[in-house]
Structure 1
Amino acid sequence: MPTAIAVTSADLVLPPMDQHTPTAALLPAPGDQSLEVALAEMAVLLEQHGYVIVLCPSSIPAAHERRLHTIRSVLETNRIALLKPDLPPLGLAVLVRQLRQLSICDFGAGVTASAARLLSHYIYAGAVLNSVARLDRVPVSLKSHAKSWVPGSQFGVLANPSAELIKIGTGRLSGPDFTTRLVVAKGQAQSEWIDQTLVQEWQPSSMEEAALPADSPGWWGTTKLIEFAAFLPDISVLYQLVASVRREVCAWCGIELIGDRCGFCSAPLAVAESQGGDSGIPNRGTPVHHGP
């Protein structure tokens, strides 16, 4: 059975890319499920899949995060990975789907979990905002704050893999140099910029629409937004990217991993093992470029 991928919110589960991509398990908040039921359901997941990789938004409520740690502690298991990538909500949903795709490959659970950090570097996640007055996730200049109060102003913001902000009509956002698919989630903002400008600049091979995640307005500081994310959609490319990274064995829990930190016990790779300078992150674009 493939490694189980779990999420803390149903809107982090995008439709599968193909008929082989499994769905993700939902781990409800404490107010929606008793601890007894949560423990029983996690025990079933572990019995059926062996390992569970849980992806949480960086804005997860403290009570919900404590519940997840309680489950792992009560079950006395190191087979549950709790990951909290610092991605916008739609970008996180994209990462969840990519790990769902990888979960059916011949990678071990440790490699799949630590691949989350690697794949995050290839997700270009941003938004169109009518105001940046309450945006605190991306550095915003005082000049941009002032412009946000001008009626009709709109901003293009990139939060990952680097932080960028432009006033629409006066600049461009740095885009990927490899073939991507673009997913767009429309909130309350109205803008033709994505279709008329961003698509022309980034040249995605295809597009899809998704529902705006519930956490997006809070993450971006406004309800008047359109969120977008460009990502690697092809499972063969994802597989090649992960397989190209040297594998190590965690000195603490013994699981195989890539990169410099274990996704299950969070232990860093021993200094002696990492002195070779391999961070586990190939040069962006080099192993995955497959454009025309």
Structure 2
Amino acid sequence: MPTAIAVTSADLALPAQDERTMPAVVLAGIDRRPLDQALTELNALVEQYGYVVVVCSQAAPEPVVRRLYTLRSLLESDRIALFRPALPPLGIAVLARQLRQLASCDLSPGVLASAGRLLTHYLHAGAVLGSVARLDRVPVGLKAHARSWVPGSQFAVLAHPEPQLVRAGPGVTLKGPEFSTWLLVAKGQLQSDWAGGLGGQWGVHGVREVPLPAESPAWWGTGRMVEFCGYLADLSVLYQLVTSVRQTSCHWCGLDVIGDRCVFCSATPPAPEPPRALEQRTPA
């Protein structure tokens, strides 16, 4: 049975990319249901799938995050991974879908879960904002703050992989990926076509549009925005990226992983032992 990939709201469960993409498990309202009911549901998921990876935004409401950690603690289970990368909500949704694509392949649960860390490096996530006055996820200079108060100002911001901020306008662009991607666009309350035009500057395969995640305004500090994300869509490319990385066994739980941390038990490799001092020999 494939590892379950879960998200905390339905708007983070993007439509399937291909016929092999596994459906997302949506933990909507998990903080509002009685604790025993939520505990029973999550335990049933673990029993059904064996392992569950919950991909959660750092902008998720605090009660949702507390409930997830409480449930994992009560179940005393290392088969539930809570993954909260520093990505905007649309990037979280894209990453969750990529893991859903890979869940149909012959990857072990530990490798699939830790693949999330690897795949974040290939996401280019940003937004066009009507104001950066409340933006605290990307460094904002004093001039940009001042321009936020000028009517009609728009700013193009790339939050990941390298922070960038420019004033949006004709001929202005952001440094994009050095490989071919698709571009996903989610429109908020800002009237702007700048993000769609970014696809031509980045040379993407195509531009697709989805609804704006509910957590995006909180992450970006404004609802006057258009969020975008450049991503790899081809399953064979994603699979090759993951399987080309050396796998190791977690010294704590024994799962095969890639990278330096097990997403399920959070263990890191033990520090190497210092070399023993050479024994001094006393001459006869």
Question: Aligned residues, how many?
Answer: 272
Does residue 184 in structure 1 map to residue 166 in structure 2?
no
Q: In 2, distance between residues paired with 1:76 and 1:101?
A: 28
Per the alignment, residue 276 of structure 2 pairs with none
Question: Aligned with 1:227: secondary structure?
Answer: strand
Question: Aligned with 2:127: secondary structure?
Answer: strand
Per the alignment, residue 10 of structure 1 pairs with 10
Say whether the 8 Å CA contact 1:130–1:189 is kept in structure 2: yes
Q: In 1, distance between residues paired with 2:69 and 2:185?
A: 33
Per the alignment, residue 280 of structure 1 pairs with none
- The verdict on how the C-alpha distance between 1:245 and 1:122 changes in structure 2, with shifts beyond 3 A counting, is same
Say whether the 8 Å CA contact 1:27–1:38 is kept in structure 2: no
Q: Residues 242-286 of structure 1: CA distance to partner in whole angstroms, max 9, x if unpaired?
A: 00100011111111100111110111123449xxxxxxxxxxxxx
In structure 2, what residue type is equivalent to 1:162? E
Question: Aligned with 2:267: secondary structure?
Answer: coil
TM-score by length of structure 2 reads 0.92
Say whether the 8 Å CA contact 2:60–2:215 is kept in structure 1: no
Say whether the 8 Å CA contact 2:31–2:67 is kept in structure 1: no
In structure 1, what residue type is equivalent to 2:165? L
Q: In 2, distance between residues paired with 1:188 and 1:120?
A: 27
Per the alignment, residue 173 of structure 2 pairs with 172
Does residue 89 in structure 1 map to residue 76 in structure 2?
no
Question: Aligned with 2:125: secondary structure?
Answer: strand
Moved over 4 A (4+): none
Q: CA RMSD in A?
A: 1.5
Q: In 2, distance between residues paired with 1:65 and 1:95?
A: 19
Q: In 1, distance between residues paired with 2:195 and 2:127?
A: 9
Q: In 2, distance between residues paired with 1:226 and 1:133?
A: 16
Q: In 2, distance between residues paired with 1:109 and 1:68?
A: 19
Any unmatched runs of 5+ in structure 1?
Answer: 274-292
Per the alignment, residue 195 of structure 1 pairs with 196
Q: Using the TM superposition, give the Cα deviation of residue 130 of structure 1 relative to its aligned residue in structure 2, in angstroms.
A: 1.0
Say whether the 8 Å CA contact 1:252–1:267 is kept in structure 2: yes
Residue pairs, 1:1-292, within 5 angstroms: 1-169=1-169, 171-196=172-197, 198-272=198-272
Say whether the 8 Å CA contact 1:22–1:101 is kept in structure 2: yes
Instruction: Name whichever of 55-64 and 139-148 sits farther off.
Output: 55-64
- The verdict on how the C-alpha distance between 1:242 and 1:31 changes in structure 2, with shifts beyond 3 A counting, is closer
In structure 2, what residue type is equivalent to 1:216? S
Q: Using the TM superposition, give the Cα deviation of residue 10 of structure 1 relative to its aligned residue in structure 2, in angstroms.
A: 1.3
Q: In 1, distance between residues paired with 2:26 and 2:34?
A: 14
Question: Aligned with 1:32: secondary structure?
Answer: coil
Q: Using the TM superposition, give the Cα deviation of residue 16 of structure 1 relative to its aligned residue in structure 2, in angstroms.
A: 0.3
Say whether the 8 Å CA contact 1:262–1:269 is kept in structure 2: no
Say whether the 8 Å CA contact 2:13–2:26 is kept in structure 1: no
Quote the sequence identity (%): 58
Q: Residues 93-117 of structure 1: CA distance to partner in whole angstroms, max 9, x if unpaired?
A: 0000000001111111101111111
Q: In 1, distance between residues paired with 2:21 and 2:68?
A: 25
Q: Using the TM superposition, give the Cα deviation of residue 31 of structure 1 relative to its aligned residue in structure 2, in angstroms.
A: 4.5
Q: Residues 57-102 of structure 1: CA distance to partner in whole angstroms, max 9, x if unpaired?
A: 1122332222212222222211011111110000100000000001
Q: Residues 96-146 of structure 1: CA distance to partner in whole angstroms, max 9, x if unpaired?
A: 000000111111110111111110010000001111111111100001111
Say whether the 8 Å CA contact 2:31–2:63 is kept in structure 1: no
Q: In 2, distance between residues paired with 1:181 and 1:25?
A: 24
Question: Aligned with 1:101: secondary structure?
Answer: helix
